[in-house]
Structures are given as structure tokens and as C-alpha cells.
Structure 1
Amino acid sequence: MNERRRPNLPPSSAPGRRRRGGRARRRPGGRSRLLWPGLAAGAVLVLAGGLALKGVTEPAGRPADAAGASPATETGGTEEARKDAPEPEKTEDGKRGAEKKKKKKKKEEDKEAGAGEKPDPDSIPSSGPGTFATADGGGDRVGGSGRTLTYVVQVEDGLGIPAREVATEVERVLADERGWTADGKVGFRRVSGGASDFRVRLATAGTVDDICGQYGLDTGGEVNCNVGQDVMVNLKRWLLATQYYADDVTSYRALIINHEVGHFLGHGHEGCPGAGRPAPVMMQQIKGLHGCRTNVWPYDADGRPITGPAVG
């Protein structure tokens, strides 16, 4: 008999052939459920490998949730956080160190301004020839948009103090934002020759007495004055200051210039406005503070005038 032979089919596709455990049930989409356990195991391995790799490349000491931070956050955000963070409280040693730095800086500023170690009062000449040397050069205009007042700086001959050195300090005082230019109207410019609106003159006590006395003022060999176009600065005060500024000669020099230039600008004497408040620059602080605090500027840092009751 000729038997009809069945076609040779792969075992997996033979009709009626059952897999071990019965026919496989298929999910929608045609995939066998038996394939999923293998895929799940592979996914676990891939995920574990990724985590391991991430752990290797992550910078040491950085939290995992910060791994994706952008450079802007890392450089800008953390910097801002450092700026906003409160400064640690200084220890006693830290405070003493800061105080030493402050004193050192002050000494350097005094040295630059020509206010180094105080001379022996007996070594300061009480009189001079009454002739003056004018600081050469000139300065830039400083101050408001109103009238510009020109001035020269002069030093009496024989004092051994360079006029240019004094001029530098006077310029610094008149250019300060707390000075008379804070009103936005008056301006100053130093010149070295020709006509000028006023003169700042550093002189011995005897010469100051002579020049101020010509206008009926008695400076008694001790104080400064403004007469006519002359701002007369007593050498003794310039070098020694007063009891209230004994440790801050540079500041007292600013008070001299601001007070006497204030007179030239038309300001009269003022009194203490109240205990604990800053003394007006037009107050005669050499005669006492009367409860006020020392102050050498006509305006404060916010541009507000520091004034007191008028004194006749």
C-alpha cells in the first residue's frame, strides 16, 4: 500500500504536537507568557548595572538627588546660599584679630595722610615768617552741578611739611560724599595759581593769630579761623588734634577743613542737638561735646544734614 507521508515539519510546528505542560496561552499581541520571566530578569540586570555605573561616576560625598543639578545651580545657587548664610560669630581671639587689623589699617591711612606719630608739643614752632609756599598742580572738579569754588593750598615757610602733602589731604576731605558737596549744588576744584575763591593755609599759631586778629578774631594761639578768603589752620591743631580726637588726628583734620570752609560758605555755629546724637560739624567741638558724639562731616552717609540749634 502506498501510504501518504506527512510532510516533514519542524517539531515545534507539527500539527497536534503539544508542548510539555500543555499548549501555551498567548497574550494579546502574540507574545507568550513564558517569555516574560526572562525579560524581567534581563531588565533587573540592566537596571542594576546602570545603578552600579552611576554609583561609580557620581562625585564622592554628593547626594544622589543632586546628580542631575545643572552647572548654573552648582556655581550660582550654592554661591548665593553661601552669601545668604549668616556669618559665624567671632570668638574673642577673632574679635581681637579684627581689631588689630582695623588699627593697622588706620595707622596706614594716617601715614598716607601725613598723620603719623604725634610730635612733641614743645617741638612745634609757635611762630613763623608769615610767608607761604603754594602746592603745585591742581585737582579735578568735585561736587554738585552748581557753582564751582576754586581754592589753593598753602603752607607757611619753614615748617618742613610739603604743601603738596597737605593739598592731597584737603582734596580728600572736600571730595568726600559726606562733605559740603552732598547738597548737590556746591563744587570744589584746587588750583595752583591765578585767582581763587579761597585759600587753605597751614600756619604757626602766631601767624594764625596775626591774620585772624586783623579781622577782630582772637584765636589765642590755639584755634583756627576763617577770615575773608582765608581758611587758617593752626599747625598745633593739625598735628595734635584735641582731647576728643587724640587717637584720630586724621578725622580732626577733616573737622578743621569742614568747619572753617563751612564758615566761608556762610554757616554759623551750632549746638548739640541732643545727648547721644552726632555733633554738628559747625559746633565748636574743641570747647566740649555737651553730650553729643564726635562727628567731622556736615552730612551723614545717607546725604542727610547733621545740624543743631544755632548758637549766637
Structure 2
Amino acid sequence: MNERRRPNLPPTSAPGRRRRGGRARRRRGGRSRLLWPGLAAGAVLVLAGGLALKGVTEPAGRPSDMAGASPSSETGGTEEARKDAPEPEQAEDGKKDAKEKEEKETEEKGTGAGAGEKPDPGSIPSSGPGTFATADGGGDRVGGSGRTLTYVVQVEDGVGIPAREVATEVERVLADERGWTADGKTGFRRVSGGASDFRVRLATAGTVDDICGQYGLDTGGEVNCNVGQDVMVNLKRWLLATQYYADDVTSYRALIINHEVGHFLGHGHEGCPGAGRPAPVMMQQIKGLHGCRTNVWPYDADGRPITGPALG
């Protein structure tokens, strides 16, 4: 983020709960009826009066509309009795579509955004209970041959984002060849229980302010921080990014993780090394680029560190 890291707290762990979300499978539309050209009205009456149609069966699980009568169609009864009735499968599909829409809205309620959409800022909760769900499972070790830092990923309860979803993004960032593992020594491994070296915690602005404030940092409801073993990620920044990354929220999330984990690793803030050059990941880019280009990685594709002048 934006503040100098403080001494690490003793390793800890936090049990979590897994959230699940489901989505109904959408059925195909109802069957269309084929009307035989040239069939006279009289023939229809004859058939309705007593001739049985072969190869026509009752839909599975659906009783006949007329007890004891031979069905003349998939809906049962005569053509006159059902000509204005909706197809049963079409009606069923309508119910399923409505249910599917309702489930999707419920699933998106926490942030007010669908996949690939930015949420309405007013829909993002500004405070929460201060309790967290921990992403279950774990990941493989990534990085160099030196120390391995274990971490857990947690999401504050009630924000509507599954902890496992956030964990996937964090794992991707920390495993990237342009990340902190490019030094050839640092390694990371995500765990879900027991002791861990640090925690990545996605939380509402109010909760970030509270936790960071315990160490004397003022995050002002806007920014992220690293304090002790906690990498605190502001939900507002996670969902909206900043003006410089407004069209690339995914990249900004990588900047958050790399910047705050960089503080945990002992790196301080840096300035822009020169106009047109990539901004160091330890630069407080939220405060301006000062002539530099946006960049979210501590190393370039060739393994060279992207740095700038150290700031006091």
C-alpha cells in the first residue's frame, strides 16, 4: 500500500468457513409442434372421437388432463380445449429462467456486480463484522530454493465474495515469474490451517482502518496496508482499483498484493526512476505516477528488478 510495514506478529491461524454458490443449469426451450398440412377439420374430430394416435406418450411425471381419455397431444385433450394453453415445457422453462435470474442476483448481491462488471460504489459495504472466512485447501510451493513463506487467504464475512475465489487470484499473483519469487530465493505456499507466516485479508474499509489503526496507520477508508503479519486489502480498492487502473482492475489487484507483500518482505517505498519508465511496485502509485508508466510487478520479464529511489 501506502505505509511502511511494522514488525511481524507471531504466526497465527484463523479457521474459516467455505461459501458455496450454485447456479441452475438452463434447460433447452420447449418443443415445437408440427402441424400436418392438409389435415381437414373433420378428420381431427374423427380422431378426437375415437381413433388412437400411435407413438404419442404422456410427458414423464405429468398426469393426463382428462382422466381416462387417450391423449391426442403432449398436453392431453382435444385441440379445441388446448389451443390457447401454453406448452407445458415452455411454461416450465419460464419458471426456471425466473429462478435462474433470482439465483444470479442473490449470488451478486454482495458487490452488486456481475462477472466482468464494476460494481456500483454505493453497493460496496463500508464496514463489516470483523470476522473472516479462510479459503480452504492449499497450494503447491512456488518460487526459489530458499525460504518458503506460508500464508492464508481470508475474506471478511458478509462481503459476498468467496474466499476461494480471492485465494485463486492471490496464488496466481505470487506464482508469477515477474513476482517476488524472481529473486531465486523466496518461495510461497498457501495453507488453510495451522501456523502461517502471513495472512492476506480482504476486508471492508472500516475493518481495514480498525486493524491498521491499531499500529498507528491511517488508511482513511481508502487504502491498503501491511501491519504485523497481516496484508490488509481494502474491498473498495479490490473492486474499483484507482484512476490509473480503472480499465484493468485485475492488474491493480496484482499491484495491491505485490506492494503489501513487498512491505512484509522488508521493502520500503520507492519513487519514480524517470519519466516514461515503469513505476516500481513499491511506489505509492495511488498518489500519482509522476511521469512513470503503470507497472504491477517487482521484476520485468527478463528477471531484472524494477526499482526507483528509496523514499524516507
Q: Identify the TM-score tier after normalising by the shorter chain.
A: 0.5 to 0.7
Instruction: Tell me, yes or no, if the aligned pair for 1:114 and 1:165 is still in contact at 8 Å.
Output: no
By how many angstroms is 1:106 displaced? 26
Consecutive unaligned residues of structure 1, counting only runs of 5 or more, are none
Q: CA deviation at 1:116?
A: 1.8
Displacement, 1:183?
Answer: 0.2
Q: Greater helix percent: which structure?
A: 1
Q: CA RMSD in A?
A: 35.7
TM-score by length of 2: 0.64
Alignment of 1:171-210 (within 5 A): 171-210=171-210
Q: How far off is 1:125 after superposition?
A: 0.3
Alpha-carbon displacement from aligned partner over 1:29-65 (angstroms, at most 9, x marks no partner)? 9999999999999999999999999999999999999
Q: Kindly tell me: are residues 19 and 197 of structure 1, through their superposed partners in 2, closer, same or farther at Cα, counting changes over 3 Å?
A: closer
Query: Shift of the alpha carbon at 1:292?
Result: 0.1
CA shift in 2, pair 1:105/1:55, >3 Å: closer
1:75-99 Cα shifts (integer Å, max 9, x gaps): 9999999999999999999999999
Structure 1 position 171, deviation (Å): 0.0
| Secondary structure in 2 matching 1:152 | strand
Q: Could you tell me whether the CA contact under 8 Å between 1:25 and 1:32 is conserved in 2?
A: no
1:94-173 superposed matches below 5 A: 116-173=116-173
The match for 2:55 is 55
Unaligned runs of 5+ in 2: none
Change over 3 Å in CA distance of 1:237–1:27 after alignment to 2: closer
277 and 207 in structure 1: CA distance in 2 versus 1, 3 angstrom threshold:
same
Given that 1:11 and 1:17 are in contact with CA atoms closer than 8 Å, whether structure 2 keeps it comes out as no
Distance 1:97 1:226, change over 3 A: same
Alignment coverage as a number of residue pairs = 312
Write the distance in 2 (CA, Å) between the matches of 1:4 and 1:183: 21
**Distance change in 2, residues 1:168/1:9 (3 Å):** closer
Deviates more, 1:19-28 or 1:64-73: 19-28
* Structure 1: 4+ residue segments shifted above 6 A: 1-115
Q: In structure 2, what is the equivalent of residue 16 of structure 1?
A: 16
Asked if the contact 1:110–1:116 (Cα under 8 Å) also holds between the matched residues in 2, the reply is no
Pick closer, same or farther for the CA change 1:23–1:60 going to 2, 3 Å.
Answer: closer
Higher mean C-alpha displacement, 36-45 vs 120-129: 36-45
CA offset digits 1:153-196 (Å, max 9, x no partner): 00000011000000000000000000000000000000000000
Judge conservation of contact 1:271–1:280 (CA < 8 Å) in 2.
Answer: yes
Note closer, same or farther for the CA distance 1:110–1:127 as it changes in structure 2 (3 Å cut). closer
Q: Using a 3 Å threshold, how does the CA distance of structure 1 residues 25 and 268 change in structure 2: closer, same or farther?
A: closer
* d(CA) in 1 for partners of 2:299, 2:85: 33
Residues 124 and 144 (structure 1 numbering): CA distance in 2 closer, same or farther, change over 3 Å?
A: same
Deviates more, 1:247-256 or 1:106-115: 106-115
Alpha-carbon separation, structure 2, partners of 1:29 and 1:130: 46
